[in-house]
Amino acid sequence: MALSSHSRSVRLPVVALACAIVAACGGGSPAQQTPPSSASVPAAAQDPAVRRLVMAVVPPGTESNQIRLITQTESWQLRPTYEHLIGLDPTNGKYVPMLATEWSLEPDGMSYRYKLRRGVQFHGGNGEFSAKDVAFSYEDTTKPDAVSSENNLLRGVVDRVEVVNDYEVVFHLNKPDVDFESVVSEQQGGLRIMSKAHFDAIGEPTLQGTPLAGTGPYQFKERAQGSYVRFERVPYQHWRVRPDFPEFEYRLQTESSGRLAGLLAGEVHITNLPSDLVPQAEARGYKIIRGRVPALRSFLAWQCCFVNSQTGEYPAHPNSPLLDPRVRQGLNKAINRDEINRAFFGGKGEPMHLNHFHPTREGWDPSWVTRFPDEYGYDTARARSLLAEGGQPNLRTSVIVRPLALFPGAEDITEAIAGYWRSVGVDVQLATIDPGEIAAAQRQLRYDNHSVMVGTSGTQFVTLAVRRIRVELDPQRRGELYRQEGNRRFDLQLDVPLFWLPAEAIVDPKVVADYVFPGSISGTWTHPENIKAVR
């Protein structure tokens, strides 16, 4: 079939067909590691080519200056201003000390002790960071209106936060948790450290005001809703790193053609582009910089078959045609993934045999590779047969569409998949919905016969969200539990696996010399303080 070159897409959570939703990811990391090498970079003698570095990205679905009201994949809009107890080395994805100089699991196996860095200043003259700010940040993060799965996870697993003294805190958990370190770290970003003194002074942040002060190397400057979010370098010697650029801006631009035009005009210095526009940028001398820790992936998530978290009832929509695994398999087999890879990613996408699982991750089963052609491979005749066997020879369904900041081209891919489904007789409605409405409908489980494009760099545990894996401390047993969960998901066709993708930024080489970012954090466009200037 001919692929369309224009479309829209969205980021929504994975279907839960037989288990309650939880989240986490992780594993310990030596507390004695040193921060990333960028921490020791001295201030350069020469000024950068521009004072304000502009990164153009797809707008988030929800704009907010209250971090707990932003989903994890959209938290990049405030990330430059905040730091975490545990950092992530952007060159290799390993844990490093950040606001905690060291941490350890207590002998009870259910408590984590953090010793805190001294002398770290909050933005705006809001005083020195201390243990009371950690306790406050946890309390604020876990308020009932928090929208991120990490917030719910912290709320469910932490019994209390003990402030031992100004520079030591203990998180007492109500059960063992193998992924707690990851959740409070920069990897998952579930616990951004905010100033209690600032909250006491201004109360809840508003979109027209300022977010609560953080300790990052950039501080919040201003926001124009729907247009940009700007940050400025702190006016003192930051404890960790001095950014090359005095100001940094996320410019919000939905259309990839607009981002390219801004790049060519010199108004934008770094952005991401779909594969069909990258050659144009490269031909004009613009360069590609890739994330150092590959983890970005794309897939289509069914929106139909949830567990009602309030009542425990499953399924929340018992009449959904997508409940039948034969229907889901038929839709999977209607998609020509090779054609999508060539058309939209220039063949750079690594085929995903099972979402969340990779040969480098826990629980990998090589049999998924050999079984994939029969179970998921492109076969229109078999797709039609499966839809009929599932009682849906004339299936009607909806695909929710909107752009994704994580990877360009998501709109086109969504429309292409809808085209593949139409070619096997499915009546597909493309539903363009306001992003704020999408998030609200998700929380209320209103979608009953829908699917949606997802882009995420979330770690395996958080995105799988299986409670029994979370409490398993033995690595060998945990790997077996992952395999069991993987086989369940593979057999039930729990989503539409597509590709593992490189996180790529297109930069103006007259302005940007390098950008060291992991690419493995949900939100992708992190560590702007590491963007190096051409001098």
What's the per-residue H, E or C state across 158-211? EEEEEEEECCEEEEEECCCCCCHHHHHECCCCCCCCCCHHHHHHHCCCCCCCCC
pLDDT at 433: 79
d(CA 93, CA 318): 42
> Could you tell me which residues come within 8 angstroms of residue 60 by beta carbon, excluding any fewer than 6 positions away?
70, 74, 76, 77, 252, 405, 435
Q: Which of 41, 38, 40, 117 is nearest to 84 (CA)?
A: 117
Which residue pairs from 256-265 have beta carbons closer than 8 angstroms and sit at least 24 positions apart in sequence? 256/408, 256/409, 258/56, 259/56, 259/408, 262/54, 262/56, 263/56, 263/506, 263/508
Distance of CA 18 to the CA centre of its chain: 24
Q: Which amino acid is residue 234, in one-letter code?
A: V
Q: What percent of the chain has pLDDT over 70?
A: 86
d(CA 270, CA 218): 18
- The answer to whether the beta carbons of residues 86 and 190 sit under 8 Å apart is no
Between 93 and 407, the higher pLDDT residue:
93
* Beta strands 86-88; 95-97: pairing state: antiparallel
Tokens of 450: 């829908």
Same topology between domain 37-292+503-533 and domain 297-456+458-500: no
> In degrees rounded to 5, what are phi and psi of residue 294?
-60, 130
C-alpha dihedral (52, 213, 130, 155), degrees to nearest 10: -120
Residue identified by tokens 């696996």 is 497
How much is the average pLDDT of 165-173?
Answer: 97
Confidence of residue 308 (pLDDT cuts 50, 70, 90): low
Residue 24 has pLDDT above 80, yes or no: no
d(CA 420, CA 408): 20
Q: Indicate if the alpha-carbon torsion angle 252, 253, 256, 259 is positive or negative.
A: negative
Q: Indicate if the alpha-carbon torsion angle 83, 121, 132, 96 is positive or negative.
A: positive
d(CA 475, CA 177): 13
User: In the chain, what are the domain boundaries?
Assistant: 37-292+503-533, 297-456+458-500
Query: What pLDDT digit, counting tens, does each position of 77-87 carry?
Result: 999 999 999 99
- Partners of 170 in the β-ladder: 113, 162
How much is the average pLDDT of 257-268?
Answer: 96
Q: Which of 491, 238, 478 is nearest to 364 (CA)?
A: 478
Which range is least confidently modeled, 18-22, 231-235, 315-319, 459-463?
A: 18-22
How much is the average pLDDT of 146-161?
Answer: 86
C-alpha dihedral (265, 270, 274, 276), degrees to nearest 10: 50
pLDDT at 45: 52
Residue 123 has pLDDT above 70, yes or no: yes
Q: List strands edge to edge, sheet with 168-173.
A: 100-105, 111-116, 168-173, 158-165
pLDDT at 33: 43
How much is the average pLDDT of 217-241?
Answer: 97
Confidence of residue 39 (pLDDT cuts 50, 70, 90): very low
Q: Which of 245, 341, 11 is nearest to 148 (CA)?
A: 11
pLDDT at 1: 37
pLDDT at 17: 31
How much is the average pLDDT of 303-325?
Answer: 74
d(CA 276, CA 333): 26
How much is the average pLDDT of 200-207?
Answer: 97
Arch. (CATH architecture) of 297-456+458-500: Roll (3.10)
d(CA 450, CA 316): 14
How much is the average pLDDT of 22-31?
Answer: 35
Query: What pLDDT digit, counting tens, does each position of 129-153 carry?
Result: 999 999 999 999 999 999 887 787 8
Q: What is the mean pLDDT of the chain?
A: 86
pLDDT at 519: 86
CATH superfamily to which 37-292+503-533 belongs: Periplasmic binding protein-like II (3.40.190.10)
Residue 75 has pLDDT above 80, yes or no: yes
